[in-house]
Amino acid sequence: MSIQRLSLRFSLAATLMAAALAPAHAAVIDTTFIDTTSLWDGKNIVYPFGGSGSTTTYGETFSAPGGALKNFTFFINTFGKSIAASARIYAWSDQQQGGSALGQALFSQAVTLNSNSLQSFTFNAGSLALSKNASYVALLTVTDNSQPGNSQWGMLSRRSGRPYDGKFVFYNNNGDATLLTNSKWDGLDWSNSLAWKASFTDVPEPASLALLGMGLFGLMASRRKNKSAQA
């Protein structure tokens, strides 16, 4: 094989690899796709959340922008009392006559809430892959209804209107998490959004991965032919 041909094949492989790596690299960027906090006055609230006669489940529906969910944040004041709860992500069914969570929890993490102000609580979901434009709900549900109640959450006075954001939902399920997915939730006609954030990480699209594979294949093929020619 001549130097010119070898150089040409390596150049082609490098070009394919560069084309694949450029969008893939650009895609791996942490981006907060949902953030309603700029619309929140830092004071508006919804309550009571917790046990002892309070509502045991609060959440916010949303549509996934694609990629993977990294974390989500709510603003909660428990007035110095500890509340054991579970932070969860479910698929969501938003129907004309009501709505509810669907199936098994896609993410679940035991948490203890304790604050003396409207403090941010962030829950790390790792890299939870969600289907683009599908409906989900991010929520906290109290695991023991006998715990303290009357906690407050940061809330907007209306729907946020932010891309992919949905609405505030709640359920008086009295600490029974099994009810989250087999019966209609309460308050589905409320026209509000929680003050909250959800951070997503883009993932390389299949076309980018295919280009990367083509580039690597071309590079390997060029090296094999070069070794054969030398032999």
| pLDDT tens sequence across 76-95 | 999 999 999 999 999 999 77
Read off the pLDDT of residues 203-223 as tens digits, 9 standing for 90 and up: 654 544 444 455 545 545 555
Strand partners, 86: 110, 141
Structural tokens at position 50? 């917790």
Indicate the pLDDT class of residue 187, thresholds 50, 70 and 90. Answer: confident
CB 163 within 8 A of CB 65: yes
Write out the H or E segment, with its range, that includes residue 88: strand 83-95
